[in-house]
Structure 1
Amino acid sequence: MKKAEAMQRLSECLRLQRYSRNTIKVYSEWLDRYINFLVGCHAETIEEKMGQFLTRIVTQDHVSASTQKQALCAIIYFYKRVLGMEIGDISFLRSKRPVRLPEVFSRQEVWRVLDRLDGEGWLWGAIMYGCGLRLEECCSLRIKDVDIDRRLIIVRQGKGNKDRVVPLPTLLIEPLQKQIRKLEELHARYAAARVPVSLPDKLDKKYPNAPYSWEWFWLFPAAGPCVDPKWEGKLYHVHNTAVQKRVRRAVLAARIPKKAGCHTFRHSFATHWLENAEGNHEIALKRLQELLGHKDVKPTMVYLHLLPKLDNVASPLDCRKAA
């Protein structure tokens, strides 16, 4: 099988199973690197070839443990799902996964950053911090996903292509109402000019009027429709990088000495939510897992390590006695 055909079949299989665009892009990149590696590889079996490749990206490219695992998943998916081949035991040098705690804002730091954002920028930060949304989930919200009467935000097609519901903070109600009122005129102009918004799963073919309807309009639309003919002049949501740059500028302006960005709001939401939770931590973790959209409770448990510990034993530094 030629390289172009292999890449095409992988992409088609991933799309058929409704994998996200980012996953398709990453898996395709790893398959491309793996095929290029096979040109100079002299191993006999598939398992040996995979083992050598996975070892090489650690020893020569110095990738992290999670990146190596990502490469492993991409290659196994290609062999099992695309080629229909079973893979035996693979022997390779595994990169060690270091124990890292996420960077978290203090409550005061959150407001120092938000105070340096305005308009849509403030809404982006407030939604990510107040609801625990990922960057992509925040950018891709539509009008129909915000239920102000029930005080809910519905996250559609989150990580793992899963939907979930999160509570809407009271402080966000008035700014969101203002944002929605501002979008009414913009939507009317685009609808009159027959500029469609992009829809998932080819819904525009099934419902031809849906791309021009109010409920499908973006809560945070891009500055204008896409000019690339490949995207058929559709209107997309604000680009992730635009949000990241604006938040990063606010962090620097607030003079916060942390490696912080958009995802720090989500980490801060989880940590502060646990601090506010009362009762059994086991029950609180289960609820937080649902709010964050985690498949397993293990990634949620890391936030327990970030909670302030109550310890009655004083530090030796605080026990200095007067001479």
Structure 2
Amino acid sequence: MTFAYHYAQGGVFSSIGHTMKQRAGSESGRLRALRRAFDNALRLKGIPAEKLKWYRLWVRRFHRFLPEKPLPVRKPDDIALFLRNLDTDLNLAPWQREQASEALRVLYAVVLACPWAREWPPSPDVPSGNTRERRIVPGSASSPPRPREREGAGGALERLRSELRVRHYAFRTEKTYLHWVGRFLAWRRGRPVDEEIAAAVRSFLEDLAIRGKVASGTQRQALNAVAFYLHKVEGVPMGDLGDFTYARSSRRLPVVLSRPEVERLLSALPSSLSLPGGLLYGSGLRLMETLRLRVKDLDFELSQILVRDGKGKKDRVTILPDRYRSALEDHLEIVREIHEQDLKRGFGSSTFWPSLERKYPRAPQQWPWQFVFPSTRLTVDPATMTARRHHLHHTALQRGVTEAAARAGIDKCVTCHTLRHSFATHLL
């Protein structure tokens, strides 16, 4: 059964739990009609109502993957690149990738009734007369070298991943670079074949600033990712970008809480987050520095905390506040019990550095190397593909601090880093 297709350009299904600013007039109606058609198609396939939100999530994620390109005009190449990009995300299970593919199949084959979507997954389009090969016309100047596009975006991203891991880049940096290079390769497919690399990069960055309205830091992040890919992976000089439109950067003063406000905020934190939240302020730690603390990093005798691999890969020593000494000791007893239970079940390893684990293979299971704030469940380590216990997820602490500020009646934009700024200010 095929549904009539209605589309509001630039729109995408509204998020569960969040309200979306409604478009004026008929656009809002067309957007609702598209969502109803998509939901009806999923129900006819027998998808339970409680799982519809996950299929909508994949469509939203595909929309954000190429926000400058409306959904109806996207081609098989765009879908293939998106699915390849999902294959590079080690946090996704195979069934999640299949769910994403099925969501796009329903959208394009059933709701939008695209002829090319009848066979799934669709074959990438290769227009006749333009195979994207580098062409050199006799008697003319050779065109500038281009990345190996015939290999496909998936192969390019895999080579980028290998290069990042050889250089021991952080896992979060790897995910960020893969995202921006994938965006750049997808965006470049619609450009002229003989376009110079510098001009393509400049146009891509300007498009992010003008149409994407990204922040200056985001634009520079994309530039760093593309520059690394071209120089380290493809061995192609990027050239001089010249003058191009930078996203506007602003210099803002940090938000600082008063001492009474800090007391109210820490008191409003839930018990499970009171210790990590207290160390953000009491020790002046950054968010990930707090969550990555291991048992051996706490020195109760010297009342200090050793921060490993901080910003800039630097180690430093900070204070361990007396206020949380006894609470930390009680907390570590609970963590030790969890660790012993994991060992009895055949697990007990924490996520670890692969190179260090080769040198000390038993270290991940030893007590000093366990996280001070472990996750409540085991996870699959993307480096070893084994079940291990990671640290508490950063979003849990971020959300806890934000909600605690609201409960405490603090009318400021409070984040985890606000506590670090407050720590430094109160030391003056």
Give the TM bin, normalised by the shorter chain: 0.7 to 0.9
Aligned twin of 2:164? 14
- Measured after TM superposition, the shift of residue 75 of structure 1 is 0.8
Is 1:181 the counterpart of 2:336? The answer is no
1:145, 1:12 → 2: CA distance?
A: 31
SS at match of 2:426: helix
SS at match of 2:314: coil
- Structure 1 residue identity aligned to 2:178: S
Checking the alignment, whether the CA contact within 8 Å between 2:295 and 2:370 is kept in structure 1 is yes
- Measured after TM superposition, the shift of residue 112 of structure 1 is 0.4
Aligned twin of 1:80? 231
From 317, 321, 333, the equivalent of 1:165 is: 317
Aligned twin of 1:203? 356
Is 1:68 the counterpart of 2:211? The answer is no
User: More relative contact order in 1 or in 2 (CA 8 Å, sep 6+)?
Assistant: 1
Residues 83-125 of structure 1 deviation map (CA, whole Å, 9 limit, x = unaligned): 2233321032112211212222111111101111253411111
From 271, 277, 282, the equivalent of 1:119 is: 271
Checking the alignment, whether the CA contact within 8 Å between 1:191 and 1:213 is kept in structure 2 is no
Aligned twin of 1:32? 182
SS at match of 1:251: helix
TM-score for the superposition, normalised by structure 2: 0.61
Mapping of residues 281-292 of structure 1, within 5 Å? none
RMSD of the TM alignment (CA)? Answer: 1.9
Stretches of structure 1 lacking an aligned partner (at least 5 in a row): 276-323
Residues 40-75 of structure 1 deviation map (CA, whole Å, 9 limit, x = unaligned): 122621111111111111110011111111111111
Checking the alignment, whether the CA contact within 8 Å between 2:264 and 2:408 is kept in structure 1 is yes
Taking only the aligned residue pairs, the percentage that are identical comes to 37
1:98, 1:242 → 2: CA distance?
A: 28
From 415, 421, 428, the equivalent of 1:261 is: 415
Residues 264-301 of structure 1 deviation map (CA, whole Å, 9 limit, x = unaligned): 1122122222x2xxxxxxxxxxxxxxxxxxxxxxxxxx
2:313, 2:218 → 1: CA distance?
A: 21
- Structure 2 residue identity aligned to 1:258: K
Aligned twin of 1:52? 203
2:342, 2:379 → 1: CA distance?
A: 13
Q: Which moved more, 1:22-31 or 1:194-203?
A: 194-203
Aligned twin of 1:218? 371
Aligned twin of 1:3? 153
2:202, 2:314 → 1: CA distance?
A: 33
Checking the alignment, whether the CA contact within 8 Å between 2:279 and 2:285 is kept in structure 1 is yes
Q: Which moved more, 1:37-46 or 1:61-70?
A: 37-46
Aligned twin of 2:74? none
- Measured after TM superposition, the shift of residue 23 of structure 1 is 1.0
- Measured after TM superposition, the shift of residue 189 of structure 1 is 1.7
- Measured after TM superposition, the shift of residue 255 of structure 1 is 0.9
Checking the alignment, whether the CA contact within 8 Å between 1:140 and 1:218 is kept in structure 2 is yes
SS at match of 1:166: strand
Q: Which moved more, 1:179-188 or 1:43-52?
A: 179-188
TM-score for the superposition, normalised by structure 1: 0.79
- Structure 2 residue identity aligned to 1:217: Q
Is 1:251 the counterpart of 2:402? The answer is no
Residues 233-286 of structure 1 deviation map (CA, whole Å, 9 limit, x = unaligned): 21111111111222222111101111212121122122222x2xxxxxxxxxxx
1:272, 1:61 → 2: CA distance?
A: 39
From 106, 121, 124, the equivalent of 2:258 is: 106
- Structure 1 residue identity aligned to 2:404: A
Checking the alignment, whether the CA contact within 8 Å between 1:194 and 1:212 is kept in structure 2 is no
Q: 1:49 to 1:227 in 2, by over 3 A?
A: closer
Aligned twin of 2:142? none
Checking the alignment, whether the CA contact within 8 Å between 2:401 and 2:416 is kept in structure 1 is yes
Q: 1:244 to 1:197 in 2, by over 3 A?
A: same
Residues 11-65 of structure 1 deviation map (CA, whole Å, 9 limit, x = unaligned): 1111221211111111111101110111112262111111111111111001111
Q: Which moved more, 1:165-174 or 1:229-238?
A: 229-238
Q: Which moved more, 1:178-187 or 1:209-218?
A: 178-187
Q: Which moved more, 1:195-204 or 1:215-224?
A: 195-204
Q: Which moved more, 1:177-186 or 1:227-236?
A: 227-236
Q: 1:125 to 1:256 in 2, by over 3 A?
A: same
2:314, 2:165 → 1: CA distance?
A: 16
Is 1:137 the counterpart of 2:265? The answer is no
Aligned twin of 1:237? 391
Checking the alignment, whether the CA contact within 8 Å between 2:296 and 2:368 is kept in structure 1 is yes
SS at match of 1:102: coil
SS at match of 2:368: coil
Stretches of structure 2 lacking an aligned partner (at least 5 in a row): 1-147
1:116, 1:99 → 2: CA distance?
A: 30
Q: How many residues align?
A: 274
Residues 164-211 of structure 1 deviation map (CA, whole Å, 9 limit, x = unaligned): 221222222222122122222222222232312211134334323222
2:199, 2:388 → 1: CA distance?
A: 46
1:15, 1:102 → 2: CA distance?
A: 34
Q: 1:52 to 1:64 in 2, by over 3 A?
A: same
SS at match of 1:101: coil
